[in-house]
Chain A
Amino acid sequence: MELSTEEEAFLRGEAGAATRLAMSTVVTVARAEGAGRLIPISGAHIDSCLYHGQSGVDFARKLVDGGGQVRVPTTLNVAAIDLLHPELFRGDQETAEQSRRLMDAYVELGCQPTWTCAPYQLVNRPGRGEQIAWGESNAIVFANSVLGARTNRYGDFMDICCALTGRAPHTGLHTDEGRLAEIVVELSLPERALDEDVTYPLIGYAIGHVAGTAIPAILGLDDRATEDRLRALGAAAASSGAVAMFHAVGVTPEAPDLDTALGGRAPKRQLHLGPDDLRAARQRLTGETEELGAVSVGTPHMSLEEMRRLADLVSQAGETKVPFYVNTSRGALEEAQSEGIAAVLSEFGVTFVTDTCTYITPIIGEVRGAVMTDSAKWAHYAPANLGVDVVFGSLEECVVSAVEGQLTAGREPA
C-alpha cells in the first residue's frame, strides 16, 4: 500500500505515540479492506464516547496519554450520561463515573461536545462528495444516502483513529464505484401509505433484513420522503442489516434515475416489498405485553421539525398518563425552547433527554408494561439492552396511547 511521507512519519511515531497507534490501526484496516492508499478526510463523528466497558476508557486514556489531538473538526455521538439532566441516570455510580471519564477523554482529544447521534442536524454538516469518517450507523447511512457525503461504517476506536490521523482507507463508500447500488428493491405499497411517517422505518427495517451489507436502490419513493422520513428509513435499515447507504431513486442526490444509481450495471438481486413485508416487520418489532408502561420517541435524536409536529399532536390532547420521553440534541432542544415548543411538550408531560438516548442507558427504569416507540431502531435494540417489551407504532399512536394510558393502537399493521 502506498503511504505519503507524512503518513509514513505518523506510522514511525514522529507525531507522537497516539498518532502512531491510530495510524497503525488505520493501516491494518486499510490493508484488510484492500485499499490502495489513504485519503484525507474533512471531518469525523465519534461513536466511541459511549461507554461500553473498561476497554473503551483504557483505549481513550492511552490516546490522551500518547498526546493525541484530532486533526479535523470532530463531533461526538451520544454518551451514557445526560450532562444537562444528570438526575435522569438510574445506573450505578461506577458506570456514571466511567462514562464521565470517557466523555472527558474525548473532549481532551479535541472533539466538540455535541453529544448527538444526529450530527447531520448541526450547522456545519458535510456536503455532497465530501470525504468524512463517521461512526454511528444511522448517521453513516444518512450522510452517504441523503447528504451524498462519503463515509464507510466506522466503528468504535476506528473513528477516533481516523480523526487523529485525518485519514481514512480509500475503499468502499469513499470510492465512486463503491457507492453504486447492488440490489433493487421495488415498493408495491398502497398510494396513501407513503403519506404516513410510520411507513418509512418499516420499509427500512424490511430492507435491512434482505440487503445485508448491499447498497439497495429503492424504487417507488417520491418527494413525500422528507429528510426525517429518510433518516428513519436509514436508521431502521442499519439496525436490521449493515446498510451503510441506500439510493431512493428520484429522491436522493446520487440516484436521479435507476441507471445512474446502478452505474449501468445489472443488479445482483431484484426484490419486491409489499404490505405483507411491512406487516411482518411491524410484528417483529412488537412484543406481547398488553399494558402501556412508557413512551419513548426521538431515536435518532428528534429534529426541530419533528418536535414541532409532536407539539401539534399534543397541544389539544391533555396530559400523558405514562412517562413520555423525547430524545433530542442539546442544539435542537435550545431551538425548541426559543420557539416555545418545548414548553408545550413539557406541559403535556414530556421528559427531555439530551446527550444520550433512552435505549442505551438506564433512564426509563422499571416499567409496568411495554414501552411504545415510533423508532424501529429503538424497538430493535431496547428489548435486549433494557429488558423491556416494546410496541412499535406511529407518533400519533404513541400520543393517543399515552393520553389514554393504555395501548390503543400499535398492534394493527399500517
Chain B
Amino acid sequence: MSRVVALISGEAQGEVLRLDEPLSFWGGVDPESGKIIEKTHPQYGESLTGRILAMPHGRGSSSASSVLAETLRQGHGPAAIVLEEPDSILLVGALVAADLYEVACPVVTSPTLPATGEVWSLSGDEMTRMQPDRARGPMEKSALLADKDNTMMGASEVSDLFSRTPVALYRTDVSGNLMTANDALATLLGYESIEDAAEAIDSVYSVYVDPEDRDRWIAEIEREGLVTDFDIELRRADGSTIWVSDTARAIEDDSGQIVYYEGALIDVTEKVEAKRARDEFLATVSHELRNPIAVVLGLGQELANRYDSFSNEDRRDMAQMIASQAEDASWLIEDLLVAYRDDIGDVAVAPQRFELVESIKRVLEVIDHDIALEVGKGETTVRADPRRTRQIIRNLANNALHYGGEEIIVRVRRTDANLEVSVCDSGDPLDPEEVDDIFQAFKRGSRSSHPTSVGLGLPVARRLARLMGGDLSYTHEDGYSCFVLTLPAA
C-alpha cells in the first residue's frame, strides 16, 4: 500500500497504463475511442479506457480539460489518474465530468508511479497493488494428470469441483498440448478417462475439424485476452463430430507472455444443428416454391389483363398450366409438412382399402414423361392412405425424372402379404454409401443434376411409407436403379 494525495478523492481499480512521455489530452486522445492518437507519442494507439493512467505531469494545450471531460462523458475515460505533480488542467476536466455527468475519475498525486500492466486499487489517499494472478509455467503432462485428485488450484474442494463438475474444463500450453482437464472433457470427446484422452490427443489441433478455427481462436485470444462462446466443431474419439462452445482466457506471466490457456466447453451440437435445419428449411421453401408460384402469378396476370386476346384453346392451356403448377406447390407443401413435423404422429394418415394400380395410373398421367407400367399377377388392392400413396409415387417418379436415367419403368408385384411398387430408371447405380444419406432429409445423391432441389422427396416418401406400415428401400438390379415401396395388401 502506498499513500497518495487525493486531489479528487474516490475509488477505482484497474490495470495501469504508465506513459513514457507526458500526454496532452487535447490532440492526443480521441474522446470517442479513449485511445492515444498523438502519432509521435511512445504509447500511440493505447487505450485509456478503464485503466489507471499514470504520468509525471500533464502537457500542452489548456484545452485538455475539455477533452478529458468529453472522454469521460462518452464512457471512454481512465478509471483514475496518478500524477507526480498536481495538474489542475486535468483536475478540472475530471471535476466537471463529475459535476455534469456523475462520472467518477479520481485524480491523485504520488511520488512514485505504478508500472504499466500492474493492477492497483485506489481508495481515497490509499493505493494498493493487487496480487497479480501468479502464472504457473507449463508443466509435465503426466505430473499434472497424476496430480489432479490432489490439487492444481489449492483446496481439495476446489479440486473436487474441478474434477466432478459436468462442464468440460481444460488447460493447454501455448502450443496446444493438453496440460490438464477434467472427466467431463473426456466424456465430451468420447474417451473413457482423461488419461486416455491425454494419451490420444497430441495437440488440440488434432481435435479441431477445421484447423483454421484454431488459428482464428488463437488470433482472438491473443488480441482480447479471452474468447467467449466460440463455436468449434471437434472430432471425438470414434471419429464423429460435435459442436462445442468454448469460453477461455489466456494466462500471462509478469512480463506479459502468455503461458497457458484455460477454458470450458459446452456441447452445442443440437443448437448448431437446429439452426442449420432452420436455415435449410428456409432455403428449401424459397427455392422450391418460388418457381411454381412465379408461373401461377405470371399466367394469372396475363389472363386477367389480356383475356380477350387469347383463343379459347390458349386459355384452357394456361388454366391447366396454372392448375398443374399450383398442384406442384401444394404437394411441395405437403412434403414440407411431413418432413418438418417434429412429431410424426401429427401427420394425418387415413388408411383404407383401395386399388393401387389405378392410383399409380392417376399419378403417371400428369407426369410429362413416358413411363412404362408393368403389373404382375395377383390382387393389387392395398390398405393405405390413397392420397399419401399418390404423394409417394409422385415423389419417386419425380426423383427418377430429375436424377435418374432416360428410361423409367414402374413395376407392381404382389408378395405374400404386401404389394411392391418399384420405380426404376436406367441411370447409374447409387454408391452404397450414398444410399443411407439419400433418405436423410436434405441430402442428394451424386447423381444430382438438379442443383436447386433440396431433395425432400425420398425422405418424405420413406417416412410416409413407414407411417402406413410399409417401407421404402433402394436396390440395383439388371442395370436399373430401383426405389421399392412396400405397402400392406388389403
Interface residue? B190 (CB, 8 A): no
Measured between alpha carbons, how far is A383 from B37 in the docked complex, in Å? 9
Which residues from 14 to 61 on chain B have a C-beta closer than 8 Å to any C-beta of chain A? 22, 24, 26-28, 31, 37-40, 56-61
The interface stretch among A6-14, A133-141, A340-348 is A133-141
Report how many residues on chain B are interfacial, defined by Cβ distance under 8 Å: 44
Known: A153-B88, A155-B65, A212-B22. A55 touches B39 (CB 8 A): no
The interface bits of chain A over 13-32 (1 if a CB of B lies within 8 angstroms of the residue's CB, else 0) are 00000000100010011001
Residue of A55, A62, A137, A152 with most chain B CB atoms under a 10 A cut-off: A55
Q: Is the CB of A157 within 8 A of B65?
A: yes
Given contacts A32-B88, A155-B63, A155-B64, contact A56 B70 (CB under 8 A): yes
Are B60 and A137 interface neighbours, CB within 8 A? yes
A136 to B88 CA separation, bound complex (whole angstroms)? 14
Contact B59 A53 (CB under 8 A): no
Does A39 reach chain B (CB closer than 8 Å)? no
B61 in contact with A137 (CB, 8 Å): yes
Chain A residue numbers with a CB within 8 Å of B100 are 55, 58-59, 62
Encoded as 1 (CB less than 8 Å from any A CB) or 0, chain B from 70 to 101 comes to 10011000000000011111111101110111
**Does residue B487 face the partner (Cβ distance < 8 Å to A)?**
no
Residues of the A chain whose Cβ atoms lie less than 8 Å from the Cβ of B86: 32-34
Residue of A with least CB distance to B97: A55
Residue of A nearest to B30 (CB): A384
Q: Does B66 contact A (CB under 8 A)?
A: yes
Residues of B within 8 Å of A401, CB to CB, are none
Q: Count the A-B residue pairs with Cβ separation under 8 angstroms: how many?
A: 137
- Residues of chain B with a CB closer than 8 A to A161's CB: 92
| Interface pair B57/A213, CB less than 8 Å apart | yes
Residue of B nearest to A52 (CB): B66
CA distance A154 to B92 in the complex (A): 9
- Is there an interface contact between A157 and B69, defined as CB atoms closer than 8 Å? yes
Q: Are A242 and B65 in contact (CB under 8 A)?
A: no
Chain A residues bordering chain B, tally (CB within 8 A): 44
Chain B residues near A50 (CB, 8 Å)? 63, 66
Contact of B31 among A53, A59, A239, A380 (CB under 8 A): A53
A354 to B320, alpha carbons, bound, how many Å? 80
Q: By the criterion CB–CB under 8 Å, are A59 and B56 in contact?
A: no
Contact status of A157 and B22, CB under 8 A, knowing A33-B86, A52-B63, A381-B27: no
- Within 8 Å of chain B (Cβ to Cβ): is A182? no
Closest partner residue, chain B, to A239 (CB atom): B60
Provide the bound-state CA to CA distance between A137 and B64, in Å. Answer: 10
Q: How far is the CA of A52 from the CA of B27 in the complex (A)?
A: 10
A172 to chain B, nearest CB (A): 9
Task: Select which of B39, B67, B87 is within 8 A of A383 by beta carbon.
Answer: B39
Bound Cα distance A50, B65 (Å):
12
- Cβ of A242 and Cβ of B63 under 8 Å apart? no
| Pair A157/B27 contact, Cβ less than 8 Å | no
Contact of A155 with B27 in the complex, beta carbons under 8 Å: no
A156 touches B65 (CB 8 A): yes
Asked if B56 contacts A33 (CB within 8 A), the reply is no
Which B residues from 178 to 200 make CB contacts under 8 A with A? none
Q: Is B165 an interface residue (CB 8 A)?
A: no
Provide the residues of chain B in CB contact with A56, threshold 8 Å: 66, 69-70
Interface string of A233-245 (1 = CB under 8 A from B): 0000011111000
B62→A284 contact, CB < 8 A: no
Complex: chain A residue closest to B85, CB-CB: A213
Contact B57 A156 (CB under 8 A): no
Q: Is the CB of B61 within 8 A of A55?
A: no
Residue B435 CB within 8 A of the other chain: no
Interface contact A156-B93, CB-CB below 8 Å: yes
* A338–B31 alpha-carbon span in the complex (Å): 43
Using A52-B63, A137-B61 as known contacts, say yes or no to A384 and B27 having CB atoms under 8 A apart.
yes
Proximity bits, B278-293, A CB within 8 Å = 1, else 0:
0000000000000000
How far, in angstroms, from A213 to B22 measured CA to CA in the complex? 10
Are the CB atoms of A59 and B61 closer together than 8 Å? no
A 126-185 contacts with B by CB, 8 A: 135-137, 140, 152-159, 161
- A:52-67 near B, CB below 8 Å: 52-56, 58-59, 62
- Is B91's CB under 8 angstroms from A55's CB? no
A188 contacts the other chain (CB 8 A): no
CB of A278 to closest CB in B, whole Å? 17
A135 touches B62 (CB 8 A): yes
Which residue of chain B is the closest to A359 with respect to CB atoms? B27
- Given A156-B63, A157-B65, A385-B27: A242 in contact with B38 (beta carbons within 8 A): no
Chain B CB within 8 A of A361 CB = no
Question: CA A59 – CA B93 in complex, angstroms?
Answer: 11
- A47 touches B (CB below 8 Å): yes
Note all chain A residues with C-beta closer than 8 A to B65. Answer: 155-158
Does B299 sit at the interface, judged by CB under 8 A?
Answer: no
Contact of A155 among B8, B56, B70, B89 (CB under 8 A): B89
Contact B56 A212 (CB under 8 A): yes
Is the Cβ of B59 less than 8 Å from the Cβ of A242? yes
Nearest CB of A to B3, in Å? 16
A158 partner residues in chain B, CB cutoff 8 A: 65, 88-89, 92
Q: Judge if B268 is at the interface, Cβ distance under 8 Å.
A: no
Q: Is A48 in the interface zone, CB < 8 Å from B? A: yes
A155 touches B92 (CB 8 A): yes
- Complex CA gap A248/B26 in Å reads 28
Within the complex, what minimum Cβ distance (angstroms) separates B216 from chain A? 31
Instruction: Tell me if B7 counts as interface (CB < 8 A to partner A).
Output: yes
Task: State in angstroms the CA–CA spacing of A123 and B350 once bound together.
Answer: 104
Q: How far is the CB of A356 from chain B (nearest CB, A)?
A: 13
> Given A153-B88, A384-B27, is A55 in contact with B62 using a C-beta cutoff of 8 Å?
no
- A99-131 to B contact mask, C-beta < 8 Å, 1/0: 000000000000000000000000000000000
Taking A55-B101, A157-B69 as contacts, is the C-beta distance between A242 and B60 under 8 angstroms? yes
**Beyond known contacts A52-B31, A155-B64: 16 more, CB 8 A cutoff:** A25-B92, A32-B107, A47-B63, A55-B70, A55-B100, A56-B69, A154-B62, A154-B88, A155-B63, A155-B92, A157-B96, A158-B92, A213-B85, A240-B59, A241-B59, A385-B27
14 residue pairs A–B, Cβ–Cβ below 8 Å: A29-B95, A32-B8, A32-B88, A33-B86, A50-B63, A56-B69, A59-B69, A62-B100, A155-B90, A156-B89, A161-B92, A213-B57, A242-B87, A383-B39
B positions within 8 Å CB-CB of A? 7-8, 22, 24, 26-28, 31, 37-40, 56-67, 69-70, 73-74, 85-93, 95-97, 99-101, 107
Nearest first, the 9 closest Cβ-Cβ pairs linking A and B are A155-B89, A53-B70, A155-B65, A52-B66, A32-B7, A156-B65, A156-B66, A55-B69, A381-B27
